[in-house]
Homo-oligomer: A and B are copies of this chain.
Amino acid sequence: MKTEEDDALCKAFGMHLAKVRKSREYSQDRLAHEAGFGRSYVGDVERGLRNISLVNLFKIADTLQIDVGNLLNFERPLDTKNLN
């Protein structure tokens, strides 16, 4: 079950991903294509609509040539600082 806090975390990640992607001069389409996703997937993740999986995190990191740890190095919303 996805809570409001989970949604906030997915949204914060999505915004960070959009920044990283743009800094690499990738369009959503190009990232989706090179990472092997469907066309709408990257947009959905960037809008926080998808709770991305480990494997897809690595696919994005590999495509954008960024360390997966850096891909997850974003400012968390205050209410998600401790999810438990």
Contact = CB atoms under 8 A, between A and B. Distances in A.
Interface residues of A, number: 28
Contacts of A59: 83-84
Q: How many copies does the complex hold?
A: 2
A66 to B, nearest CB: 12
Main secondary structure, interface of A, reads: helix
Contacts of A2: 55
B55 A53 contact: no
Contact of A57 (B34, B54, B62): B54
Contacts of A63: 84
19 contacts: A2-B55, A6-B55, A9-B58, A10-B54, A10-B55, A13-B54, A36-B84, A51-B53, A51-B54, A52-B53, A52-B54, A53-B53, A55-B83, A58-B80, A62-B84, A68-B69, A69-B70, A69-B72, A72-B72
